[in-house]
Amino acid sequence: MLVTTNYRKRGMGLSARTDSTADKILECSLDLMSEKGYKAVTMKEIAAAASVSEMTVFRTFGSKQAILDAIIERYLSSAPVERIGRKNFSYELEEDLLMISELYHEVLNRNRKIYLISILERKTMPEIHRRLHDNASKLLQRVTEYFRAMQEKGKVVPGNPEAQALTLMRFNYGKFISGLLLEGIAPAFQDDRLEDAVAIIAKGLST
């Protein structure tokens, strides 16, 4: 009851005061939770990581769950999928596919840690995962439309445009996730250029 914590009070208000304490706590919590999962992170750990007393964490956010909520609200940016529109296409296949892929990786990387949390907590808090997925679906739709248009122009091989879009996007997703999950476990590949892979896929799709 009346759990209007300090954080909420400020968060709702005109605020915009620096409040680096809450920031630090959020960032450290994001780091920890994306590594070990919500349940496995303790308030003590969070406090220590943020170089703050445990009490401060409770005073600032009120509860552990509230921290996660704040993280989502703050860091899960409804990515710039909108930036892909007809206007941006050059209708040069390879060029466009590279642009799309780069944008997708930008989105994925921006939400890197959120993605990890969403994977770890996909069963306990499916909303997070669903929100990210919805975003990806929108992007897939746009790319599908693009392929449909390109087929009409005779610049892309006939076929189910959604399947074509999926081929491209799944490659990109696979590249992203494998990199994400292998961080600190295996060394990254050298000479791992996105352009090369996109060129292969573009060639496979061109007429």
Residues that bind its own copies (CB under 8 A): 35-37, 39-40, 119-120, 122-124, 126, 129-130, 133, 137, 157, 159-160, 162-164, 166-167, 169-175, 177-178, 181-182, 184-186, 189, 191-193, 196-197, 199-205
Q: Choose the one of DNA, its own copies, none that binds residue 59, judging by a C-beta under 5 to 8 angstroms depending on kind.
A: DNA
Q: How far is the CB of 178 from its own copies (least distance, A)?
A: 6
Q: How is residue 33 written in tokens?
A: 């939770």
Rounded to 10 deg, the angle between the 20-36 and 112-120 helix axes is 50
Task: Looking at residues 65 to 94 of the shown chain, list those that interact with DNA (rule: CB under 7 A).
Answer: 65
Phi then psi for 136, rounded to 5 degrees?
Answer: -65, -35
Q: How far is the CB of 73 from DNA (least distance, A)?
A: 17
Question: Which of these ranges, 57-65, 91-99, 128-136, 189-197, lies near DNA under the rule CB under 7 A?
Answer: 57-65
Cα–Cα distances in angstroms (integers) from residue 99 to residues 22, 25, 172, in the given order: 36, 36, 12
Q: Choose the one of DNA, its own copies, none that binds residue 12, judging by a C-beta under 5 to 8 angstroms depending on kind.
A: none
| Nearest-angstrom CA–CA distance, 84 and 102 | 11
Q: How far is the CB of 14 from its own copies (least distance, A)?
A: 37
In the complex with DNA, the residue whose CB is nearer, 8 or 110, is 8
Q: Choose the one of DNA, its own copies, none that binds residue 99, judging by a C-beta under 5 to 8 angstroms depending on kind.
A: none
Q: How far is the CB of 204 from its own copies (least distance, A)?
A: 3
- Please, are residues 165 and 140 in contact by the beta-carbon 8 Å criterion? yes
Would the CA dihedral through 194, 196, 197, 203 be positive or negative? positive
Q: How far is the CB of 26 from its own copies (least distance, A)?
A: 20
- Please, are residues 115 and 105 in contact by the beta-carbon 8 Å criterion? no
Task: Produce one character per residue of 29-59: b if its CB has 16 or more CB atoms within 10 Å, e if not.
Answer: bbbbbbeeebeebebebbbebbebeeebbbe
Contact between 99 and DNA by CB under 7 A: the answer reads: no
